[in-house]
Amino acid sequence: MKKNKKKINNSKVVIIFSLLLIIVIVLYTALNSGVFISENIEIDGNKYVESEYIIKALDINNSKNIFRYNIKDMEESLLRNKYIDEVEIKRSLPNTLKINIVEKEIVANLYNEEVYCYIDKEGNFIDKIDEDNKDNGVIIVNIDYNITDLQEIKFKNEEDRKRLLYLLESIKEEGIYKKIDNIDMTKDDSININTNDDINILLNNDEEVKYNISRLAMILTDLQNKKEKGGEIDLSTGKNALYRP
């Protein structure tokens, strides 16, 4: 019986050793085979972060095996970029790295007569922008603010920040974000909005903002159907909206 047990134990050792040897051979082959050289790089989801920057930041080259990249370190490296909110990197056999980027949602380009800067949906600072490089698809908001040494947005008061974000959220919910060119919130009691069709909009800076934006959405749709451009929409006079061509 003892001899049989020894034979069984020896057989297990041989099997385990053989499996480990196979694993080592497979890993060595995978790490050194030219089949897995990173010849294809697929980057998706990036608008503000250029693909060239991503490739350079991750030190990707077409002579390196895809199994030699440290995926976790690569993801952490990209997350340090101020525009990137989420990132996922995957290997796709035999020779592809897939990089999926989720950028921070830029809701406005603030302007204070001195500098432009992007903010996210929480009102947090993202980046300073040169006038020539600003994204024309992002609403410009003229408002009183400063950028601190810690790269934080400091509004004149907290109420300004809340009203701005509430206004932007209402505009987005009504589906008219792309119709708006700029917003002036430099006055305490009123808001001035200009559309891409050169329509000037007046409304009060009060608790009726959401209601007035819903009215504005219907009016803009009506004017668009009538192919009207320019003029002024006055929503500051109460229940009756006024349009002056």
Model confidence at 30: pLDDT above 60: no
Q: According to the model, what pLDDT value does residue 33 have?
A: 54
% residues pLDDT > 90 (the chain)? 75
Range 12-23 average pLDDT? 65
Assign 37 a pLDDT band (cuts: 50, 70, 90): confident
42 strand-pairing partners? 98
CA distances in angstroms from 183 to 125, 199, 200, listed in the order given: 18, 12, 10
Q: Which single residue is written with the structure tokens 């792309």?
A: 178
Q: Which single residue is written with the structure tokens 């009203």?
A: 163
Distance separating alpha carbons of residues 65 and 95, to the nearest angstrom: 8
Q: Are 183 and 209 in contact (CB under 8 A)?
A: no
Model confidence at 2: pLDDT above 60: no
Q: Average per-residue pLDDT in the chain?
A: 89
192 strand-pairing partners? 184, 202
Q: According to the model, what pLDDT value does residue 169 have?
A: 97
- φ, ψ of residue 204 to 5 degrees: the values are -80, 145
Q: According to the model, what pLDDT value does residue 181 have?
A: 98
Distance separating alpha carbons of residues 16 and 197, to the nearest angstrom: 74
State which amino acid sits at residue 230: G
Range 149-153 average pLDDT? 93
Measured between its terminal Cα atoms, the distance across the chain in Å is 105
Range 143-159 average pLDDT? 93
Assign 189 a pLDDT band (cuts: 50, 70, 90): very high
Model confidence at 176: pLDDT above 50: yes
pTM: 0.84
Candidate from 26-40, 180-194, 210-224 with smallest mean pLDDT: 26-40
State which amino acid sits at residue 17: F
More confident residue, 172 or 32: 172
